[in-house]
Amino acid sequence: MERRVVFSGWVCPVVLLSPQLAVTIVFFFWPAGQAVLQSVRGGDAFGLATRFVGAENFAALAADPDYLAAFAITAFFSLAVALLALAPGLLLAVMADRVVRGAAFYKTVLLLPYAIAPAIAGVLWMFLFNPSIGVLAAALRAGGIDWNYLLDGNQAMLLVILAAAWKEISYNFLFFLAGLQAIPLSLLEASAIDGASPRRRFWTIVFPLLAPTSFFLLVVNIVYAFFDTFGVIHNVTQGGPAKATEILVYKVWYDGIVGLDLGSSAAQSVVLMAIVITLTAIQFRFIERRVHYA
Amino acid sequence: MVTARRNAWVPHAVLIAGLMVVLFPIYVALVAASHALPDILEAPMTLVPGSRLAANFAEALSAGTAKTSGEPVTAMLLNSLVMALAIAAGKIAISLPSAYAVVFFRFPLRRLCFWAIFVTLMLPVEVRIIPTYKIVADLALIDTYGGLTLPLIASATATLLFRQFFLTIPDELVEAAKIDGAGPWRFLVDTVIPLSRTNIAALFVILFIYGWNQYLWPLLITNSPSMTTIVIGIRQMIGNGDTQTEWHIVMATALLAILPPVIVVLLMQRWFVRGLVEAEK
């Protein structure tokens, strides 16, 4: 889409654009380029100079069982977070769409976790499930479950998934509610006149019409789980126990900043960039399609 | 009305259950922040609020915990506030003019400029951690507000949102401005910015929360305790086995970290919801 009437001259737009372009070049393109360059270089034995090593860093990653494990962990974690944040979001949105009294109140309260930092969500859930003093840990133990997420990798994974998903329910709720309210009432009335039950109306009309929203949210949630949950992992488990919750972003940070293996960390950054670019491309392709629907 | 009214209690029951799940962690934090430490350590912890809420908040604000090298939470709140405001204001200040340039002018390399901004969507700070850190170090911006905010300020999202909105401004307005002899600067200041007020407000809320909740970047870029933001500081308050974590102060601090973005969302809810749903389209 383009405007018909525009101003002439080029000095003015250059002045207007330059701050954003300057920040973009200095803090986006330059470091991204450095990451790519760094990823094909390795240090010598003394750490004094670097030399070109080609795809060695990537080959090392592909052969590193820890990295492959982190990949599998990230895939599982992201899908679990996305599904656990989407399903309650949809359920609550459908219910909030039905009520009249108190609708504004429900909406406001359900919105609150959106404002909470993932890292803080991690602290809140860590406190609930703290093996020695946590309220929910005590309840689990009373129920006969031996709860100690500091020792049990599966329990640690469950905890970070819960903390990360809890925070994201708000966002999904909001978008599903907006999606539901955009469905023309006449469609639902027509099918009600044809005798369709509320359940049938939901699965044959509402749910298919929400599919674009759901798909969009699925991508957004996966991106969130991939990148924005560093704070949850860093606060709650530090990737442990025994690397059971080490997601890719945590590993990039750990290998680069704590382990000082710059070549490997840069190669991991490049892999992550490829993942974000793929996910963003999927999202935008699909959004174009949605525009045609509407 | 098509909805069956027979089971009107079902949605309310589900919603109330949802509210309880959403609020439970916050409620437990509130209870913990209202007790003295021994009451919390006595498992299972009580779920009845105590009487020390104000005292614990005051202690957190003025002294923090012994383990954060006695850094009071007030200083952390201030750092977070500066960071969030600088990111929100900075992003709006650079993306509104750039969107204006891309929409209201024709000049060589216009498309290239737009795409250069657009692809930054695909480079979140998490994927370019170490090289960005190195650049900030080279510019001597470690432990400064500049280092904390500048690398997060470029925003394709804000530029795209402004661009979308600018495309809906009627051509007649531009023509009228030209006939009246107004140049591009006048048109920007007198017409476009006033028309964009709602969008600016909505973006401000989203970007304020984004800035306030940053974790990885401040963790890298701030070493001195006096630069710690509250979201980072809380991690340093939690012990690692040697000493007893002062949970009552930690939970009071967690609530203090939640409060400002929650207040911003509540005060500006109407704009924020519309802005969020539009921004992501």
Counting one residue from chain A and one from chain B, the pairs whose CB atoms sit within 8 A come to 296
Residues 6+ apart with CB under 8 A from B129: A252, A253, A256, A257, A265, A269, B216, B220
Longest dimension (CA), chain A: 80
Name the residue type at position B22.
V
**What's the confidence (pLDDT) of residue A267?**
84
Closest Cα in chain B to A287: B281
Query: Measured between alpha carbons, how far is A65 from B223 in angstroms, rounded to an integer?
Result: 33
CA pair distance A38, B20, nearest whole angstrom = 49
Return the percentage of chain A with pLDDT > 70, whole number.
Answer: 93
Cβ-nearest to B215 among A111, A230, A252:
A230
- C-alpha B271/C-alpha B267 separation (Å) is 9
Q: Are B7 and A154 in contact (CB under 8 A)?
A: no
For B192-216, how does the pLDDT look when each residue is reduced to its tens digit (9 = 90+)? Answer: 999 888 888 888 888 999 999 999 8
Interface predicted TM-score of the whole assembly (ipTM), two decimals = 0.87
Could you give the count of Cα atoms lying within 13 Å of B111 in the half-sphere of its Cβ? 2
Pairing of strands A41-43, A50-52: antiparallel
Whole-angstrom Cα distance, residue A200 to residue A194? 11
Beta-carbon separation of A230 and B153 below 8 A: no
What is the distance between the alpha carbons of residues B147 and B142, in angstroms, rounded to a whole number? Answer: 6
Residue of A nearest to B184 (CA): A7
Q: What is the rounded distance in angstroms from the CA atom of residue A270 to the CA atom of residue B131?
A: 12
Residues of A within 8 A of B88 (CB-CB) are: none
Judge whether A286 is closer than 8 Å to chain B, CB to CB: no
- What pLDDT shows up at residue A161? 95
Q: What is chain B's mean pLDDT, rounded? A: 84
**Which of B21, B24, B122 to mutate to test binding with chain A, by most A CBs within 10 Å of its CB?**
B122
Query: Which pLDDT value is given to residue A142?
Result: 85
Comparing alpha-carbon positions, the chain A residue that sits nearest to B147 is A27
Length of chain B counted residue by residue: 281
CB contact under 8 A, B123 and A185: no
Residue A18 within a domain: no
- CATH number at A197 reads 1.10.3720.10
Kindly state the average pLDDT of the residues B35-41.
81
Contact check, Cβ <8 Å, A27/B151 = yes
Asked if A230 contacts B215 with a C-beta cutoff of 8 angstroms, the reply is yes
Provide the pLDDT for residue B9.
84
Can you give chain A as a three-state secondary structure string?
CCCCCCECCCHHHHHHHHHHHHHHHHHHHHHHHHHHHHHCEEECCCCCCEEECCCHHHHHHHHCHHHHHHHHHHHHHHHHHHHHHHHHHHHHHHHHHHCCCCHHHHHHHHHHHHHCCHHHHHHHHHHHCCCCCCHHHHHHHHCCCCCCCCCCHHHHHHHHHHHHHHHHHHHHHHHHHHHHHCCCHHHHHHHHHCCCCHHHHHHHHHHHHHHHHHHHHHHHHHHHHHHHCHHHHHHHCCCCCCCCCCCHHHHHHHHHHHCCCHHHHHHHHHHHHHHHHHHHHHHHHHHHHHHHHC
> Which residue out of B134, B160, B215 would a mutagenesis test of the A interface target, given it has the greatest number of A Cβ atoms within 10 Å?
B215
Mean pLDDT, range B79-87, rounded to an integer = 94
- Quote the CATH superfamily of domain B73-94+118-155+201-279: MetI-like (1.10.3720.10)
Distances (CA, A) of B250 to A120, B30, B218, B234: 11, 11, 19, 7
Phi-psi sector, A43: left (phi>0), alpha (psi -120 to 50), beta? beta
At B1 the pLDDT is 47
Could you report the per-residue pLDDT of A218-251, keeping only the tens digit for each? 888 988 898 889 999 998 888 878 888 899 889 8
Measured in angstroms, the CA of A179 and the nearest CA of chain B are apart by: 10
Which residue's entry shows tokens 């006695």?
Answer: B70
Under the banding of pLDDT at 50, 70 and 90, the label for residue B5 is: low
| Residue A104 covered by a domain | yes
Give the residue, B122 or B191, on which the prediction is more confident: B191
Q: Write the DSSP string, chain B.
A: --S-STTTHHHHHHHHHHHHHHHHHHHHHHHHTTS-HHHHHSSSPP-S--S-HHHHHHHHHHT--GGGTT--HHHHHHHHHHHHHHHHHHHHHHHHHHHHHHHHB--TTHHHHHHHHHGGGG--GGGSHHHHHHHHHHTT-TTSHHHHHHHHH--HHHHHHHHHHHHTS-HHHHHHHHHTT--HHHHIIIIIHHHTHHHHHHHHHHHHHHHHT--HHHHHH--SGGG--HHHHHHHHS--SSS---HHHHHHHHHHHHHHHHHHHHHTHHHHHHHHHHHT-
Angstrom distance (rounded) from CA B185 to CA A16:
10
Please write the tens of the pLDDT for every residue from B7-29. Answer: 678 889 999 999 998 999 999 99
| Domain containing residue A225 | 64-257+265-293
Determine the Cα–Cα distance for residues B258 and B260; give it in Å rounded to an integer: 6
Non-local (6+) Cβ contacts of A145 within 8 A are none
Closest CA of chain B from A51, distance in Å: 17
The answer to whether residue A15 sits within a structural domain is: no
How close does chain B come to A263, measured CA to CA in Å? 10
pLDDT tier, A170 (very low <50, low <70, confident <90, very high otherwise): very high
- The Cα of B247 is separated from the nearest Cα of chain A by a number of Å equal to 8
- Cβ(B57)–Cβ(B119) below 8 Å: no
Question: What pLDDT, in 10s, does the model give residues B232-254?
Answer: 888 888 866 667 788 888 899 99
Cα separation, A286 vs A280, in Å, equals: 10
Domain total in chain A: 1
The answer to whether the Cβ–Cβ distance between A21 and B215 falls below 8 Å is: no
A171 found inside a domain: yes
Chain A stretch 229-258, residues whose beta carbon is closer than 8 A to a beta carbon of chain B: 230-231, 234-235, 249, 252-253, 256-257
Contacts of B163 in chain A (CB under 8 A): none
CB-closest option in B93, B209, B216 to A115: B209
| Structure-token pair, residue A50 | 């670097």
Closest CA to A35 of A278, A196, A273: A273
> Model pTM?
0.87
- Which among B54, B143, B29 has a CA at the least distance from the CA of A112? B29
Distance between CA atoms of residues B68 and B237, nearest Å: 6
Q: Cβ of A62 under 8 Å from any chain B Cβ?
A: no
Q: Is A36 on the interface with B (CB under 8 A)?
A: no
CA distance A223 to A281: 12
Greater pLDDT, B78 or A149 = B78
Q: How far is A249 from chain B (nearest CA, A)?
A: 7
**Which among B104, B132, B154 has CB closest to A3?**
B104
The residue in chain A having the minimum alpha-carbon distance to the alpha carbon of residue B102 is A13
- Give domain status of residue A32, yes or no: no
Q: What was the pLDDT predicted at A39?
A: 78
- Give B-chain residues touching A133 at CB under 8 angstroms: 40-41, 43, 45, 247
Q: Which has the closest alpha carbon to A64: A204, A276, A212, A261?
A: A261
Nearest residue on chain A to B39, alpha-carbon basis: A133
Q: How far apart are CA B274 and CA A100, in angstroms?
A: 20
Residues of B in contact with A120 (CB under 8 A): 213, 231, 234, 254, 257-258
List all residues of chain A from 189 to 208 with a beta carbon under 8 Å from chain B. Answer: 189, 192, 198, 201
Judge: A5–B171 Cβ closer than 8 Å, yes or no. Answer: yes
Q: Which tops the pLDDT comparison, A35 or B140?
A: B140
Half-sphere exposure of B221 (CA within 13 A, CB side): 31
Of the CA atoms within 13 Å of residue A119, those in its CB half-sphere come to: 26
Nearest to A24 among B19, B32, B120 (CB): B120
